[in-house]
A and B are shown apart, each in its own frame.
Chain A
Amino acid sequence: AQRVTQPEKLLSVFKGAPVELKCNYSYSGSPELFWYVQYSRQRLQLLLRHISRESIKGFTADLNKGETSFHLKKPFAQEEDSAMYYCALSGTGNTPLVFGKGTRLSVIA
């Protein structure tokens, strides 16, 4: 079974502080991992995917198969980063995404 765990419901950081949103997964095969973001009053949108190995809006995430983690990081938080963040997993064969429960990031000025 595929499972995604985001242990923090809420994470508050000060502007300019580093951010790390945790994501752990459970899957026996080779997963594809994603981070989605939902800003206030906007639709859910893709932030980044592990296979692209890119940085979007200063965020990066590295897939650690040994620790089954895909934590989202940013060195310096901005107020506009305040949003709901969801980690998601797709299994072998491009199976439908399984989402975590999400973490609300609040960046305090």
Chain B
Amino acid sequence: DTGVSQNPRHKITKRGQNVTFRCDPISEHNRLYWYRQTLGQGPEFLTYFQNEAQLEKSRLLSDRFSAERPKGSFSTLEIQRTEQGDSAMYLCASSLERGNGYTFGSGTRLTVV
């Protein structure tokens, strides 16, 4: 197990296009989190899953954002009709339910032009 894996590492897209990111967590971790980070800010919580159930969504997560975790394994985060304000680093993390902290992936950097 090489930790939390995120793909792609970078994505450049035109405004209005849809994009999808993937996160593969540590296999024994049942919790999976998505965060967004912009320049000069700390990671901001978007949503999280416990197994396949999506337990919480931030108000930052507009209707254009959707996340899934089928079968409680990998997760995808889709952004529809991208806007320039969506440009950010999207971070995925996983943990045990009562864990010792999160393990983060390297992130997917999205640039909307």
Contact = CB atoms under 8 A, between A and B. Distances in A.
A98 to B, nearest CB: 7
A99 B42 contact: yes
A97 interface: yes
Contacts of A11: none
B100 A49 contact: yes
Contact of B42 (A46, A49, A94, A101): A101
B42 A102 contact: yes
Chain B interface secondary structure, helix, strand, loop or mixed? Answer: loop
A97 B98 CA distance: 13
B44 A99 contact: yes
Interface string B28-42: 000001010000111
Contacts of B48: 96
A86 interface: yes
Interface residues of A, number: 22
Interface in B79-113: 91, 93, 97-98, 100-107
B100 A101 contact: no
B8 interface: no
Nearest to B96: A94
B43 interface: yes
25 contacts: A9-B40, A34-B101, A36-B101, A43-B104, A44-B43, A44-B93, A45-B104, A46-B100, A46-B101, A52-B100, A86-B43, A88-B42, A96-B33, A96-B45, A96-B48, A97-B33, A97-B43, A97-B102, A98-B45, A99-B42, A99-B43, A100-B42, A101-B40, A101-B41, A102-B42
Given A44-B91, A97-B102, A99-B44, 16 more contacts: A6-B42, A34-B101, A36-B101, A43-B107, A44-B93, A44-B104, A45-B103, A45-B104, A46-B102, A49-B100, A86-B43, A94-B97, A94-B98, A96-B56, A97-B33, A101-B42
